[in-house]
Amino acid sequence: MSTATAKPLRLLLGFDYGTKQIGVAVGQVITGQARELCILKAQNGVPDWQKVEALLKEWQPDAIVVGLPLNMDGTKSEMSERAEKFARRLNGRFNLPVHTHDERLTTYEAKGQRLQQGQNSGYRERPVDALAAALLLEGWLNDHPH
């Protein structure tokens, strides 16, 4: 793809894919930072596509980043295959560039941040999915400076 015709990236949405919940974050290329947006419910990994579409219409991202849950040795897992399928569906449905990014340990890091914020009980009251999405999106932004 020619960089002369490529649309400049300004705003991105990040998705932390899961079979029950999908964390969503928004990030800005100019700052390299991302923040939690929301958590979408999913049934066996399938989100409510109307809610996804509503988010995309509201935020109008230039691209999407989907976390790729690789095994610790870097190999693909069943979950990473499902996340890639989710990424392909996002691209096919909404015709936006979709990138994947290694998300190993983002959920672990998100839980650690919640503990530092004083949350020491279960994560049902304050799930970490959207925070994990923000962390993986910031990771992608750091790896792809513009």
User: In this predicted structure, what is the pLDDT of residue 1?
Assistant: 34
Domain ranges of the chain: 11-143
- Residue 52's pLDDT is 98
Backbone angles phi and psi of 121, in degrees to 5 = -95, -165
Please give the structure tokens belonging to residue 108: 């672990």
In which residue ranges of the chain is pLDDT below 50? 1-5
Q: pLDDT, tens digit, for every residue of 105-142? A: 666 666 666 666 666 555 555 678 888 899 999 999 98
The class that CATH gives domain 11-143 is alpha beta
Rounded to whole angstroms, how far apart are CA atoms 39 and 59? 15
Q: What is the dihedral of CA 25, 81, 99, 134, to 10 degrees?
A: 20
Specify the pLDDT at position 144.
Answer: 83
72 C-beta neighbours (distance < 10 Å), count: 8
Neighbours of 73 (CB within 10 A): 6
- pTM for the complete prediction? 0.84
